[in-house]
Structures are given as C-alpha cells and as structure tokens.
Structure 1
Amino acid sequence: MPIDSSAADNKNIKQIICIKWGTKYGADYANKLYGMVSRNITPPFRFVCFTDDTTGVRPEIECQELPPLDVTMPTNTLGKWPKSRLWGERLGDLTGTVLFVDLDVIIVDSLDPFFEYGKPDDVVLSYNPSNPLERLGQTSCFRFQVGALVSLQEKFKANPQGIADKYRFEQRFVTRNAPGGVKLFPKAWVAHFRRKCRQPFPLNYIKEPKIPKGARIVIFPGDLYPTHAIEGRYNKNAANNAKDHLKRITEPKNLKRPLRHLRHFILPVGWIEKYWKE
C-alpha cells in the first residue's frame, strides 16, 4: 500500500517516480504504471508522478509539479532530455533513493531487487543492448539518490543543445558523466521488447513475442508502444496482419532490405494486457 508523504524519512520506504509532460502520454499511462508497481512491490512505497497535468490521474498517485529547469530543451535529437529536470538538487519533497521508471513500460515481476542491488548511493542504470561494444546505460529504469546528479544538470544547463548534439541520448550523457560512474542492473532484469521479446524470423509469423527469462520490466524504446504491440503492429504505421505486411515488401524502401522488412513483424501480444492494467 502507498504511504503518507509525512513518513518519507523511513529508509525502508521504496520511492518510485515517473515524469509526464505534454500530451504524448495520457493519465492512463500513469494509472496503469501505478497499478503494476502496486502489484509488484513489497510495501511500504511511494509513487510520485512529476507532471504538468493531473487531469484523470488516480488519487493514489502523488502528483507533484515538474521540477523547475529554466532552459530551452534541445531540438532534433532522439534523447528524452526533459528527464534532466530530475537531476537537480531538489526533487519535490523527496529525499534519499528513488527508482525512476518510464511511463510506457510493462512490469512483469517484483521491483524489490532494484532497491537491493549495489550500494544505496550508487547510480544504477539498466543495461542498454543497442550498442553492445559500448558500456551504455538505459534510463527507462534507473536508480539514484536525490541531488546526486546536480553536476550533470549544471553541465546540461550551460549548453543544452551542445550536450544533446554531442551525446545524442540523455542516457549516454548520464552513463559517461555521472559522479563516481554508474553501475548497471543485471542484463536480464530490463528487457528491450524489440531485441529480447519478439521472435526471430520466420517464427515471428507463427509465435507471439515472449517474456524473456529473468525479466522484471519490459521497455519499449523507439516508436513502438504497448498499444501497438497489443494490436500486432511493429510501429504505429505497420500492418497488423501478416498478409498486409508481406504485401508491403514491394515498396521501394523494403525492396532494398527485404529481410529487414520480414523481420519487422509481430503477432498480437496477449500477455501485455494481463500486466498493463490499473
């Protein structure tokens, strides 16, 4: 069960945070995330959503204002740089250890180990499989002490666009610049949907994506969201059935890389709705 914020000085309280700005994600994402957290954590816990719009957010969620950051956010970059709001000396009324989780994840097992791994003051990121030759963290799920990343925010504030142009992704900036370095959670705990869940060709046409062994959280980087996966779409513009997907192989962009097109197909994912609910 969640707890009253007045008891937040109890070191045994697990603090989960998320951030919601703009219109990309509605209140339903925060509500479902809270539901998944509450079913996969040992109480007591706090769930805090930093947001500019509390409309429709379920009452169990502690909504707090977006942490202030007076900068112009970078443009034409792939990184989620508004997450830099979380790096300040203060983070609402929170203190101590927090676990940040993206809004569009699926939680499939206990979150308790994320609070037990390493030392309390470690900055711990998820393993990023996208660049296997680079030790790179993933900020879809990461743990830190409030105020521990102030130096990152100061560097970013000094030259937001320059930092974004150099590092492209905020997770690379955090990985390379966090004071004292970063640790990574065990690889299996946070599974990249496209890389670890979807079936290899040609099994992707006869078997739905799987939950990898040892996974606790499934993340959806890029332009594939849980709603698309439920429908059997590889992205928002993809076909949701094999017949239509195979027809598109004749399009010029797909003729250049036919195997890639064949691989980029998934069947509807039934298990997402089992977990992704309030």
Structure 2
Amino acid sequence: MPIDSKTTDNENIKQIICIKWGTKYGADYANKLYGMVSRNITPPFRFVCFTDDTTDVRSEIECQPLPEIDYPMPVGTSGQWPKSRLWSEKLGNVEGDVLFLDLDVVIVGNLDVFFEYKPEKEVVLTRNMTNPLEKLGQTSLFRFPVGKLVSLQKLFATDPQGIAEKYRFEQRFVTRHAPGGVEFYPRRWVRHFRFECKRSFPLNYFLPAKLPKDTRVVIFAGGALNPPEAIEGRYRTEYPNDAKEHIKLLKTSETAKKRPFRHLRHFILPTPWVEKYWRE
C-alpha cells in the first residue's frame, strides 16, 4: 500500500510520478500503472499522477493538478513537450527524488534498482535505442530531483516552437541541457517493445514478441503500438490482427503497395506476457 505523504519523510520513501493530460490515455492507463508499480516495488512508496482529469482514477493514486506553465505548447512537432511541465521548480507538494514513468509502460520486474542506481547522479535516463549511434536519453523512465530541471523549462519558455523544431523530441533537449549532465540506466533493464521485443520479419508471423532476459520495464515510446495493440496482435489499431488479412492489404491498400516490406514488418502476433503484466 502507498504511504501517507503528509506524515512520512519523502527522503525515506520511493516516489513514482506520472502525467496524464488530454484524452489519449484514459484512467485505465494510470490505474494499471499503479497496479504494476505496487506489485514491483518494496514499500513504502508514493504514487502521484499530475492530471487535468481525475475521473475513474483509483483512490490509491494521489492526483494533483498539472503544474502550471506560462508558455504555449509547440504545434505540428514531434515529441511530448507537455512533459516540460515536470521541469517546474515545484511539482505540487512533491519534493526530492522522483522516478517518472510514462503511462504506457509495462513493468515486468522490480523497480527498486532505479532508485538505488548511482545515487550520486541526479538525472538518470533510460538509454534511447531508436538512435543507437547517438548518446541520447529516453524520458519514458527517468529519475531526477524535483526542481533540478527548472533551467530547461526557462530556456524552453524563451522559444517553445523553435526549440521543439530544433530538437524534435523532448528527451534530446533534456539529454543535451540537463544541469550537470545525465547518466544512463543499464540497457538491459529497460527495453523498447518495437525495437527490442518485436520479432523481425518473417519471424513476426510465427512467433510473438520476446521478453529479453533481465528486463524490468518495457516502453512503447512513439508510434501507435501500445499495450492494448500488443495484447491483441495489432501493430496499429486500424490493422487487422490476422496474418492473412494483413498480407491481403498489399493488394488493397495504396500505403502498403508503396512500401510493401515495411508493411510486412508491421505485423505482430498477440503478446501473452503483455496481457499478464499490464493489469490493475
């Protein structure tokens, strides 16, 4: 069970935070994330969700308003720049070190190590494997002290649109400008579903996605493939989850005709282990 943040010293507990805005992710994502955290962490812990909609969020989750900002969000760009709210000097009544988790991650192992790893390093990111030749962090899971990244927010506020267009993704901006630099968690702890779990063609038509050894968290950053699609066996919500029907699109879909190999690669079988772990 979570602790009472009003009576417990934050330095002695593990603090998990997430952020939920808009309508892309419903309360079920926050509720399942809490469930996975509670099964994979040594108490005491605190779970805080910064959100603009608390409807149907389970009572164990400590909901707080989205941190206020005084700059516009960029438009027509990549990345999840609303996460810049987390760079504020204050995050509600949360103080000290926090471990941020995206709503769409799947937790498959114990989280304690993410708090214990290199405590002398303040900002620790997941390694981004979509650009293996670039020393780039991933903010689907990262640890930082509240207020440590306020300089990033101040810089971003000077030109949100321009900075978003220059850096494309918020994690590149964090990696490049975090005060004191960043550290990376061991790669084996956090895996990217599309790049490190999904089978390559043609094995994707015969075998479900794998779960690499020593994985603790699986991320679904980028694209339309999230845990529900992985469970059903759909690379995209609009794609069929039947191999024959997927292949037939090569004859009926103009998009598939233009890039046939890409289309063939974008098929997955249902993934039982995602269904096993991604639950309340």
SS at match of 2:110: coil
In 2, the alpha carbon distance for the partners of 1:8 and 1:220 equals: 33
Pairwise CA distance, 1:6: 1.6
In 1, the alpha carbon distance for the partners of 2:255 and 2:51 equals: 39
| 1:276 corresponding residue in structure 2 | 278
Aligned residues of 1:8 and 1:94 also touching (Cα < 8 A): no
In 2, the alpha carbon distance for the partners of 1:10 and 1:80 equals: 28
| 1:35 corresponding residue in structure 2 | 35
Counting aligned pairs with the same residue, the percent is 67
In 2, the alpha carbon distance for the partners of 1:54 and 1:255 equals: 43
Query: Which region of structure 1 is more displaced relative to structure 2, 26-35 or 214-223?
Result: 214-223
Aligned residues of 1:97 and 1:121 also touching (Cα < 8 A): no
Equivalent AA in structure 1 for residue 272 of structure 2: G
| 2:244 corresponding residue in structure 1 | 243
In 2, the alpha carbon distance for the partners of 1:138 and 1:19 equals: 16
SS at match of 1:6: coil
Pairwise CA distance, 1:87: 0.4
In 1, the alpha carbon distance for the partners of 2:65 and 2:31 equals: 17
Aligned residues of 1:121 and 1:145 also touching (Cα < 8 A): no
In 1, the alpha carbon distance for the partners of 2:33 and 2:216 equals: 14
Pairwise CA distance, 1:7: 3.4
Q: TM-score, normalization: structure 1? A: 0.97
SS at match of 2:153: helix
Equivalent AA in structure 2 for residue 6 of structure 1: K
Aligned residues of 1:48 and 1:61 also touching (Cα < 8 A): yes
SS at match of 1:11: helix
Pairwise CA distance, 1:144: 0.2
In 2, the alpha carbon distance for the partners of 1:107 and 1:194 equals: 16
Structure 1: unaligned runs, 5 residues or longer: none
5 Å-filtered alignment, 1:97-112, equals: 97-112=97-112
Aligned residues of 2:121 and 2:183 also touching (Cα < 8 A): no
SS at match of 1:254: helix
Q: Write the deviation string for residues 23-78 of structure 1: whole angstroms up to 9, x where unpaired.
A: 11111110000000000000000000000111101010000011111211000111
5 Å-filtered alignment, 1:91-130, equals: 91-130=91-130
Pairwise CA distance, 1:9: 2.2
238, 247, 255: which is aligned to 1:253? 255
Pairwise CA distance, 1:213: 1.2
Aligned residues of 2:126 and 2:190 also touching (Cα < 8 A): yes
In 2, the alpha carbon distance for the partners of 1:18 and 1:135 equals: 25
Equivalent AA in structure 1 for residue 259 of structure 2: R
Q: TM-score, normalization: structure 2? A: 0.96
Equivalent AA in structure 2 for residue 264 of structure 1: H
In 2, the alpha carbon distance for the partners of 1:145 and 1:10 equals: 12
| 1:216 corresponding residue in structure 2 | 216
| 2:17 corresponding residue in structure 1 | 17
SS at match of 2:6: helix
5 Å-filtered alignment, 1:43-192, equals: 43-192=43-192
Aligned residues of 1:148 and 1:179 also touching (Cα < 8 A): yes
Pairwise CA distance, 1:167: 0.3
SS at match of 1:199: coil
Q: Write the deviation string for residues 160-210 of structure 1: whole angstroms up to 9, x where unpaired.
A: 101101101000000000001111111111111011111122111111111
In 2, the alpha carbon distance for the partners of 1:10 and 1:154 equals: 26
- Note the aligned Cα RMSD (angstroms): 1.2
Equivalent AA in structure 2 for residue 67 of structure 1: P
